[in-house]
Chains A and B, each alone.
Chain A
Amino acid sequence: MTTLTPSLTSSMIAILPELVILVTACTVLIADLYTRDDQKQSNHNLTIIGLVLALMAVGVVGGSVPTEAFSQSFIRDPMSDLLKGAILVVSLLTFIYAKDYMRDREMWVGEYHVLLLFAVLGMLIMVSANGFLTLYLGLELLSLCLYALVAFDRDSKQGAEAAMKYFVLGALGSGMLLYGISMLYGASGGFAFADVAAAVANDGVNDKILVFGLVFALIGIAFKFGAVPFHMWLPDVYQGAPTPIVLFLSSAPKIAAFAMAARILIEALGGLQSDWGDILVILSVLSLALGNVVAIAQTNIKRMLAYSTISHVGFIFLGLLAGSEQGYASAMFYSVVYALMSAGAFGVLLMISSKGQDVQELDDLKGLSDRAPWLAAMMALMMFSMAGVPPMVGFVAKLLVLEAIIAQGMVWLAIVAVAFSIIGAFYYLRVVKLIYFDKPTNEVPVTTNASARVAITVNGAAILLLGMYPATLFTLCQQAFPS
């Protein structure tokens, strides 16, 4: 594979999407000072324009030949192109879904847009990191914005508690990661993923230190994903944070976390696959088991979806641990698809939350099909997709992962995974049951704005159409991991 080593100009071109987001964030920050409180629509418009421009920039600078920039600390390759595209699309959906909710609660202020945009910037940097330093910078940019966003509703005690938990545990996770990175640096003498990969390949380097570093780095990754047993923060944060923030938190950062895992585990430590593969087996089986079983006991829908996230993380790890190009591609496909499903599910929750009342409990969904038939259908679509029922794309994602692990001869792991999927099917079905078979307890009509309705329709159509024609997206995922 040929790599271009560019000048400053071409470096700047390579980071065009990041630049667009950065400029947008700064513009919103300044523009916010000069707009009256009743003109905040302009922030929203600017943000949307910025995200769309960034999306176009990804398309413009994208290509199959990887480009490195800034002394090899940054890389733009097919994987980063696709993941950035997915992150930007999901973030766009977030902004559109969240608009009414945030405005009704007087949280639709400039800072919200700026923080979210910086979080997006952090994710883009993570996705394109070519070394541990860049990766860590991106990760912290993302995490700091998220801590603030979780506490965004200043009057909410729960929100403050969630933010505190998130911050402490997130810092712990970051610390673990950093410690692992320092070990890897010590063993290899470099921050670039290529340096570490060279050290792994070199027999002269002490394997013990590398594996030691690997374990801590992996714990950091598991923290960010929320894999069992590093999942404790996830349900509390999901329950306590404002729903739009949960929507954001549960979707795009999972894609970025996948990029982090792929860069560290595959690019840097691919030579230690037999070591991290075994650890991932334990993490994924525990995540599948705990996520699916505990979700059944939840009465709060945000908490339920938190445990559902944990179980999906188990599936993403299954794809990774297969250790084959097919497996990596399937895990990538799963992450992107999961982000779309999660965005859709939380999007519906946002749209049915009325001015005074948040949708929190499962019972709030009762009889939704009578109150808002279209939103009900979309929610059912997301639930069936998460349960892995064809023709929704969730099924294809699971199929690809299962196929990858069976190809490696791990049939028993596939059986464990499908067995827990059956348990998982129950609580997704329960949501459909509440929506369709129960009588509504709340007669307040659901009002939604047109752009949110369009967005949820596009989101639902994507889930259905990707399920029927998964080939294009999967081919893109495969191109990210050339064999």
Chain B
Amino acid sequence: MLLEFPWLSLVIWLPIVGGIVAIASGEQNVELTKRIGLVYAVLTFVVSLVLWFGFDATTAEMQFVERSAWLPALGVEYHLGIDGISMPLILLTTFIGIFVIIAGWDVITHRPSHYMAAFLIMEGIMVGVFSALDAILFYFFWEAMLIPMFIIIGVWGGPNRVYATIKFFLYTFFGSVFMLVALIYLYFQTGSFDILGFHAAPLGLTAQILIFIAFLLAFAVKVPMFPVHTWLPDAHVEAPTGGSVILAAIMLKIGGYGFLRFSLPITPDASATLDWLIIAMSLIAVIYIGLVALVQQDMKKLIAYSSIAHMGFVTLGFFIIFAIFQRAETAGAVMGIEGGMVQMISHGFISGALFLCVGVLYDRMHTREISAYGGVINRMPWFGAFVVFFAMANAGLPGTSGFVGELMVILAAFQADFWFAFLAATTLVLAAAFTLWLVKRVIFGEVGNEQVAKLEDLNRRETLNLGVLAAATLAIGLWPKPLIQVMEPTIVHLVQQVQVSKLPTVDAVDTVPVAGLQP
């Protein structure tokens, strides 16, 4: 009974219905609208807990599967299901969903009902992305996500919001349409849009490489990876606090999720052939973007660049596995992907919290310039404590969730190649440098100016927000085992899948590259 109920559909459609209710409630009664938004967000999170507790962590099979015909003429189905990769990300989405609603509580005065609606609808769509098992359904949610985000940045954003939002939309749209062509091509190879069917389809190397590149365009833009990352700092800077949180905490994860769900299992041989490209892009992100973050004058921009660097870590963890295979170390490969996953979840908490912190300051001072602050801790001790904590977590301090993922990826990288590990580990230095320097300039020191002197410490709403996120960061940092256990069977299965070549046996003999081939 418990498992037969369409829980996934409920988690997807409940917030969307909530969004429609919020719009319908109109602008007359702002308090009511906000309550509606919060109730639906909390309700969605509560329902999504069913997914966690009802989840069977001993199998890599899809669970909570729902399947019904949608566009039978094309073999498109309404097919949902979750495994150990998507389930934690769905929970992250519904969890963060509550905080973005609260983040806009007092700040949003322009059309609050639309604000609540945009975020709720966005939340439902993102859960849809993580749970879709039909390629067209996936694409449906994937693209639909752009509309509320476009409006969130464009309506409630900063002064340069129109430029930022159109750039955001076109970049992501550009990335994804080629994925659509690849998905349709795969349909004709397998006869359905079933993603799991794609996983099993044999493909020649040329086709795989082209599909891989189409996927890469879509996911690299979303992650975002160097050199297609330039939309992110603009979008972050202009977006309202809630929008930044959603962007950093969840939307970027969708790119990483795409690599795990599409690129690796569908095109394993192409991934093995082109792994150097991803690894190079990831390392550039870690080092170069880390350096870029160091010189930022705007707090949000700094955190945005830090996000790119951290996501570089994630993609590194996903793609070093091929180098590890060459040394016949499957366990290391599992650790690399797990590390990437943990890093994604942890980055969701930490970057979300950091953006909330910037939001707290921005709401009071209406500037994000680092130089406008100084000595904030003298006026806001609680706030200062939180910022220091999250900054440490961002720099990968042991005991916080940031450490777990980074350590796992670095350990895995050692098994691949010493130099990968060496370069990746520079992030520990760079991240420490840019976050701690940020803390030093904003939080510590003498009170910088009169405006800072008038600051007031966190109110209850803000304390609650940051406190819960701090607890989550600590929990995963100190006891990551439940999270890793949930993912383990799925990731082991994924690694096995990736090790099996999908090339047709005839040309497997002569055209296959060295990397990634095990019996």
Chain A positions within 8 Å of B, measured between CB atoms, are: 384, 389-391, 395-396, 399-400, 402-403, 406-407, 411, 414-415, 418-419, 421-422, 425-426, 429-430, 432-433, 436-437, 469-471, 474-475, 478
Q: How far is the CB of A399 from chain B (nearest CB, A)?
A: 7
Q: How far is the CB of A325 from chain B (nearest CB, A)?
A: 11
Q: How far is the CB of B198 from chain A (nearest CB, A)?
A: 15
| A433-B181 CB under 8 A given contacts A391-B140, A391-B144 | no
Whether A418 and B180, one on each chain, are in contact in the complex, defined by CB atoms closer than 8 angstroms, is yes
Of A396, A411, A436, A474, which one neighbours B155 at CB under 8 angstroms?
A: A436
| A406-B177 CB under 8 A given contacts A389-B147, A471-B71 | no
Residue pairs across A and B with Cβ atoms less than 8 A apart, 19 shown, are A389-B143, A389-B144, A390-B140, A395-B143, A396-B71, A399-B184, A411-B181, A415-B178, A419-B177, A422-B173, A422-B177, A425-B173, A426-B170, A433-B162, A433-B165, A436-B151, A471-B69, A471-B72, A471-B73
B181 closest partner in A (C-beta): A414
Whether A429 and B170, one on each chain, are in contact in the complex, defined by CB atoms closer than 8 angstroms, is yes
Main secondary structure of the interface of B (DSSP, over half): helix
Residues in A with CB closer than 8 Å to B184 are 399, 402-403, 406, 414
Residues in B with CB closer than 8 Å to A433 are 154, 162, 165-166
Whether A407 and B71, one on each chain, are in contact in the complex, defined by CB atoms closer than 8 angstroms, is no
| A403-B74 CB under 8 A given contacts A418-B178, A425-B170 | yes
Whether B74 and A400, one on each chain, are in contact in the complex, defined by CB atoms closer than 8 angstroms, is yes
Give me 15 other A-B pairs in contact (C-beta within 8 A), A406-B184, A426-B170, A469-B70 excluded: A384-B147, A389-B143, A389-B146, A389-B173, A402-B184, A415-B181, A418-B181, A419-B177, A425-B170, A425-B173, A429-B169, A432-B150, A436-B154, A474-B71, A474-B73
Residues in B with CB closer than 8 Å to A471 are 69-73
Q: How far is the CB of B209 from chain A (nearest CB, A)?
A: 14
Whether B188 and A407, one on each chain, are in contact in the complex, defined by CB atoms closer than 8 angstroms, is yes
Main secondary structure of the interface of A (DSSP, over half): helix
Q: How far is the CB of A210 from chain B (nearest CB, A)?
A: 32
Asked if B187 is at the interface (CB within 8 A of a chain A CB), the reply is yes
Residues in B with CB closer than 8 Å to A399 are 74, 136, 180, 184
Q: How far is the CB of A404 from chain B (nearest CB, A)?
A: 10
Query: What is the 8 Å Cβ interface bit string for chain B, positions 153-176, against chain A (1 contact, 0 not)?
Result: 011000001100110011001100
Residues in B with CB closer than 8 Å to A426 are 166, 170
Residues in A with CB closer than 8 Å to B73 are 471, 474-475, 478
* Complex-state Cα separation, A114 to B140, whole angstroms: 43
| A422-B144 CB under 8 A given contacts A402-B184, A415-B181 | no
Q: How far is the CB of B210 from chain A (nearest CB, A)?
A: 8
Residues in A with CB closer than 8 Å to B180 are 399, 402, 418
Chain B positions within 8 Å of A, measured between CB atoms, are: 69-74, 136, 139-141, 143-144, 146-147, 150-151, 154-155, 161-162, 165-166, 169-170, 173-174, 177-178, 180-181, 184-185, 187-188
Q: How far is the CB of A36 from chain B (nearest CB, A)?
A: 43
Residues in A with CB closer than 8 Å to B136 are 399
Residues in A with CB closer than 8 Å to B185 are 406, 411
Q: How far is the CB of B79 from chain A (nearest CB, A)?
A: 15
Q: Which of B161, B181, B187 has the most CB of A within 10 A?
A: B181
* Complex-state Cα separation, A422 to B178, whole angstroms: 10
Residues in B with CB closer than 8 Å to A419 are 177
* Complex-state Cα separation, A437 to B165, whole angstroms: 10
Residues in A with CB closer than 8 Å to B147 are 384, 389
B169 closest partner in A (C-beta): A429
* Complex-state Cα separation, A474 to B75, whole angstroms: 13
Closest 6 CB pairs of A and B: A418-B177, A390-B140, A437-B154, A406-B184, A390-B144, A390-B143
B137 closest partner in A (C-beta): A390
* Complex-state Cα separation, A437 to B73, whole angstroms: 40
* Complex-state Cα separation, A384 to B180, whole angstroms: 17
Residues in B with CB closer than 8 Å to A396 are 71
Residues in B with CB closer than 8 Å to A429 are 150, 166, 169-170
Q: How far is the CB of B180 from chain A (nearest CB, A)?
A: 7
| A403-B187 CB under 8 A given contacts A418-B177, A436-B151 | yes
Whether A437 and B161, one on each chain, are in contact in the complex, defined by CB atoms closer than 8 angstroms, is yes
* Complex-state Cα separation, A470 to B71, whole angstroms: 7
Q: How far is the CB of B307 from chain A (nearest CB, A)?
A: 25
Residues in B with CB closer than 8 Å to A425 are 169-170, 173
Residues in B with CB closer than 8 Å to A474 are 71, 73
Of B141, B146, B178, B188, which one neighbours A406 at CB under 8 angstroms?
A: B188
Residues in A with CB closer than 8 Å to B174 are 422
Residues in B with CB closer than 8 Å to A436 are 151, 154-155
* Complex-state Cα separation, A400 to B73, whole angstroms: 10
Residues in A with CB closer than 8 Å to B173 are 389, 422, 425
* Complex-state Cα separation, A415 to B182, whole angstroms: 10
* Complex-state Cα separation, A297 to B139, whole angstroms: 30
A400 closest partner in B (C-beta): B74
A387 closest partner in B (C-beta): B173
Q: Which of A396, A403, A407, A432 has the most CB of B within 10 A?
A: A403
* Complex-state Cα separation, A400 to B155, whole angstroms: 33
* Complex-state Cα separation, A131 to B185, whole angstroms: 38
Residues in A with CB closer than 8 Å to B181 are 402, 406, 411, 414-415, 418
A329 closest partner in B (C-beta): B73
* Complex-state Cα separation, A135 to B180, whole angstroms: 38
* Complex-state Cα separation, A6 to B509, whole angstroms: 66
* Complex-state Cα separation, A328 to B174, whole angstroms: 27
Q: How far is the CB of A107 from chain B (nearest CB, A)?
A: 37
* Complex-state Cα separation, A396 to B137, whole angstroms: 11
Q: How far is the CB of A406 from chain B (nearest CB, A)?
A: 5
Residues in A with CB closer than 8 Å to B162 are 433, 437
* Complex-state Cα separation, A390 to B173, whole angstroms: 12
| A395-B177 CB under 8 A given contacts A406-B184, A437-B162, A475-B73 | no
Residues in A with CB closer than 8 Å to B187 are 403
Q: How far is the CB of A181 from chain B (nearest CB, A)?
A: 34
* Complex-state Cα separation, A422 to B150, whole angstroms: 15
B141 closest partner in A (C-beta): A390
Residues in B with CB closer than 8 Å to A407 are 188
Q: How far is the CB of A338 from chain B (nearest CB, A)?
A: 19
Q: How far is the CB of B168 from chain A (nearest CB, A)?
A: 10
Of B151, B154, B169, B177, which one neighbours A421 at CB under 8 angstroms?
A: B177
Residues in A with CB closer than 8 Å to B143 are 389-390, 395
Q: Which of B69, B144, B161 has the most CB of A within 10 A?
A: B144
Residues in A with CB closer than 8 Å to B155 are 436-437
